[in-house]
DNA sequence: CATGGCTGCCTAACACTGTTAGGGGTTGGT
DNA sequence: ACCAACCCCTAACAGTGTTAGGCAGCCATG
């Protein structure tokens, strides 16, 4: 009776994250967590829903970054004290799961035109763009697989195209996984600061130059290739680098198809 | 005078992380904590070096995971109080950089035999194995590019082979980057818990089954592909999945080479 | 030998974090 | 009017990274 509240906030557990459950990003006063369905609902103005929490977390993330995203700040963002969040959310990790899918919410699949190669290409770029545009999105997404309604929708669409391209079921599933893993890894690397050069809080280009100097300053007898390739290794054009990688993966996938379908 | 200590702990800044500086993996039993080090020992016996710190951090990481790795615990591991660490290290991030390269220290490049494809293949697998064998290594490595002596050595060797395979300078640099980004992303995904299934603290296989059930339970009219490919999407054999991805990348790289060098 | 400066550690403290216990209103249903 | 559920609150706990300032030994110099 004491902690009956922690028991369950809504009807089912496993299905909730899976069900699309019409998520209107609209600030409508409806759609309290899941309890709206349960008869005998009490409160008049919920004021804070799981949707609202996710959006608030998104704003805090944009403003303060992942390291600065605390329960107290998210609570303040929705006009509430920290402890109250635990009514709607089991712990911070669950809030991050909501945030996770909220980030995916702003993604939209590329137009369904052109060959599979163009479409897969566009998918990679859009996903990267999504991760780059939302602050610390890569860190939030990485290390947590939160199959919320938004992510599920994207996967569904993606798989549909891969199968239409002629990939087998297993290959389509693998390819989808490959895309996700690679893009996440790439953006994570791309955004990761270089330890040696962090002292100078310079721009991306400046620290690339600094990294180049670092490589060039190595003893040439021990690291001939690093010294030699310093420029190539620290080329600051990340778009070109990404494009290269994507093309490699596309070529690799193309090799799975019969020659007439590439 | 007050904080003169924070000025510099050692000679040069930028070069330190770059120089190999013979790293002994610490001679056995001495490093054990306890108050034995404190009495009578002055400045003569340092008792805690950056190397020792890195090794201690590695042990704490193995025992408690990244989330449980705190300055106080690492300090206790070397028999010292937390504040003392800031004499040797600027902040926690710098300790993590040391840890980063310490993890890389246990990597050894694959034998230099077979074609470039076998060697690149082995590189991918060894890197993944390294990240899997050291607890939370993927999380430590991701989001931080710490070009310590160990990582530099690996890059050097890797680039050497890629160039020997016939890749252009730019392509070799890109390919090396691709390898790192992909493997990190893959292992990160591989190890990331699934939000919906975390309640059951089951094994990898169990949560894969649970994820499969989750996909199968989706409304078939909205997610026909997810329902259909549930088995393929949740196939628990991560080795096979990794192998697939690596082969795609290898194929993609092979397309860069003239047909006679593939 | 004495003096100071440097090294390496210490204790205390600050502002913060996630999380829990328990209490108090407001609401709707009976 | 009562009850139960809902939603939020205050207070507190243990733990975090980090800094200020102090204190004991070692070095080299006067």
Q: How confident is the model over B106-116, as pLDDT tens digits?
A: 999 999 999 99
Report the distance separating Cα A147 and Cα A153, nearest Å.
9
Instruction: Name the residue facing A189 among B145, B146, B155 (closest C-beta).
Output: B145
pLDDT of residue A230: 95
Nearest to B245 among A172, A178, A255 (CB): A178
Task: For residues A82 and A128, state if they share a domain.
Answer: no
pLDDT score, position B202: 64
* pLDDT the model gives residue B46: 65
The residue in chain B having the minimum alpha-carbon distance to the alpha carbon of residue A243 is B174
Q: pLDDT class for B74, splitting at 50, 70, 90?
A: very high
B88, part of any domain: yes
Strand D reaches within 7 A of the B7 CB: no
Average pLDDT over residues B242-255: 97
Does one domain contain both A142 and A210?
yes
Could you write out the three-class secondary structure of chain B? Answer: CCCHHHCCCCCCCCCCCCCCCCCCCCCHHHHCCCHHHCCCCCCCCCCCCHHHHHHHHHHHHHHHCCCCCCHHHHHHHCCCCHHHHHHHCCCHHHHHHHHHHHHHHCCCCCCCCCCHHHHHHHHHHHHHHHHHHCCCHHHHHCCCECCCHHHHHHHHHHHHHHHHCCCCHHHHHHHHHHHHHHHHHHHHHHHCCEHHHCCCCCCHHHHHHHHHHHHHCCCCCCCHHHHHCHHHHCCCCHHHHHHHHHHHHHHHHHCCCCHHHC
Nearest CA distance, B180 vs chain A (angstrom):
8
Decide if A196 and B226 are in contact by the 8 Å CB cutoff.
no
Task: Tell whether B61 and B190 lie within a shared domain.
Answer: no
Question: How close does chain B come to A168, measured CA to CA in Å?
Answer: 10
Tell me whether residue A110 is in a domain: no
Domain that holds residue B65: 4-105
In a domain, B225, yes or no: yes
Task: Please indicate, yes or no, if residue A36 is contained in any of the structural domains.
Answer: yes
**Measured from the CB, is A66 under 7 Å from any atom of strand C?**
no
* Domain count of the fold of chain B: 2
Q: Which tens digit of pLDDT belongs to each residue from B184-215?
A: 999 999 999 887 665 555 677 777 888 888 89
Q: pLDDT tier at B70 (50, 70, 90 boundaries)?
A: very high
| Averaged pLDDT for residues B33-57 | 64
Q: Given this model, what pLDDT does residue B14 score?
A: 34
Comparing A18-32, A183-197, B83-97, B157-171, which segment has the lowest mean pLDDT? A18-32
In whole angstroms, D15 C1' to B135 CA is 22
Indicate if B88 and B197 belong to the same structural domain. no
B35 occurs within a structural domain: yes
- Average per-residue pLDDT in chain B? 83
Å from A171 to nearest chain B CA?
8
pLDDT < 50 positions in chain A? 1-43
Q: Rounded to a whole number, what is the distance in Å from the CA of B249 to chain A's nearest CA?
A: 5
Report, in ranges, which bases of strand C sit under 7 Å from a protein C-beta.
6-13, 16-22, 25-29
Say if residue A88 is in the same domain as residue A158.
Answer: no
- Chain A 41..80 CB hits on strand D (< 7 A): 41-43, 46-48, 75, 79-80
For A41-55, A71-85, B228-242, B246-260, which range has the lowest pLDDT when averaged over its residues?
Answer: A41-55
* Same domain (yes/no): A120, A101: no
Q: Is the pLDDT of residue B19 over 90?
A: no
How many Å does it take to go from CA A15 to C1' D3?
Answer: 31
Assess whether B177 and B250 both reside in one domain. Answer: yes
Closest nucleotide over all strands to B9 (CA to C1')? C7
Q: Is the CB of B71 under 7 A from strand D?
A: yes
Q: What is the mean pLDDT of residues B174-192?
A: 96
CATH number of the domain that B199 lies in? Answer: 1.10.357.10
Those residues with Cβ within 8 angstroms of residue B46's Cβ, 6 or more apart along the chain or in another chain: none
Residue B85: which CATH number?
A: 1.10.10.60
CA–C1' A89–D4 (A) = 22
The answer on B77 and B198 residing in a single domain is no
Q: Do A97 and B195 touch (CB under 8 A)?
A: yes
* Residue A204 and residue A236 in contact, taking contact as beta carbons nearer than 8 Å: yes
Query: In the predicted model, what is the mean pLDDT of residues B77-96?
Result: 96
Mark which of A79, A105, A131 sits at the end of a domain. Answer: A105
Question: Is a pLDDT exceeding 90 seen at residue B8?
Answer: no
Assigned domain for A153 exists? yes
Instruction: Please tell me whether residues A53 and A154 are part of one structural domain.
Output: no
Domain end among B105, B133, B153:
B105
- Boundary residue ending a domain (B105, B139, B162): B105
Same-domain status, B121 and B155: yes
The answer as to whether A111 is a domain residue is: no
- pLDDT at B10 exceeding the cut of 80: no
Using only C-alpha atoms, chain A has a radius of gyration, in whole angstroms, of 23
Burial of A91 (0-12, 13-18, 19+ CB in 10 A): exposed
B38 beta carbon < 7 A from strand D? no
Which residue bears the tokens 């990294």? A211
Give a yes or no: residue B110 inside a domain.
no
A154, A217: one domain:
yes
What are the two backbone dihedrals, phi and then psi, of residue B208, each rounded to the nearest 5 degrees? -65, -40
Which of the nucleotides in strand D have any atom less than 7 Å away from a protein CB atom?
A: 4-12, 15-21, 24-27
Question: B259: Cβ under 7 Å from strand C?
Answer: no
Q: Are residues A140 and A60 in the same domain?
A: no
């Amino acid at each position: 009776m004491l902690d009956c509240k922690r028991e369950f906030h809504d009807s089912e557990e496993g299905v909730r994250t899976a069900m699309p459950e019409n998520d209107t990003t609209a600030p409508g006063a409806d759609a309290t967590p899941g309890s709206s369905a349960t008869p005998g609902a009490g409160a008049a103005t919920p004021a804070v829903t799981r949707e609202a929490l996710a959006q608030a977390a998104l704003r805090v993330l944009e403003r303060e970054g992942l390291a600065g995203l605390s329960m107290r700040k998210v609570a303040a963002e929705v006009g509430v004290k920290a402890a109250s969040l635990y009514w709607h959310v089991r712990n911070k990790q669950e809030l991050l799961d909501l945030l996770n899918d909220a980030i995916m919410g702003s993604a939209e699949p590329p137009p369904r035109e052109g060959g599979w190669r163009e479409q897969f290409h566009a998918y990679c770029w859009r996903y990267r763009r999504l991760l780059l545009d939302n602050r610390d999105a890569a860190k939030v997404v990485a290390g947590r697989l939160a199959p919320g309604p938004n992510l599920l929708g994207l996967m569904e669409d993606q798989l549909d195209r891969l199968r239409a391209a002629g990939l087998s079921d297993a290959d389509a599933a693998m390819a989808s996984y490959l895309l996700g893993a690679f893009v996440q890894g790439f953006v994570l690397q791309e955004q990761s600061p270089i330890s040696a050069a962090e002292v100078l809080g310079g721009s991306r280009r400046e620290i690339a130059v600094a990294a180049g100097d670092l490589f060039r300053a190595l003893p040439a007898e021990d690291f001939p290739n690093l010294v030699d390739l310093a420029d190539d290794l620290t080329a600051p054009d990340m778009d070109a680098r990404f494009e290269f990688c994507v093309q490699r993966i596309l070529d690799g996938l193309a090799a799975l198809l019969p020659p007439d379908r590439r």
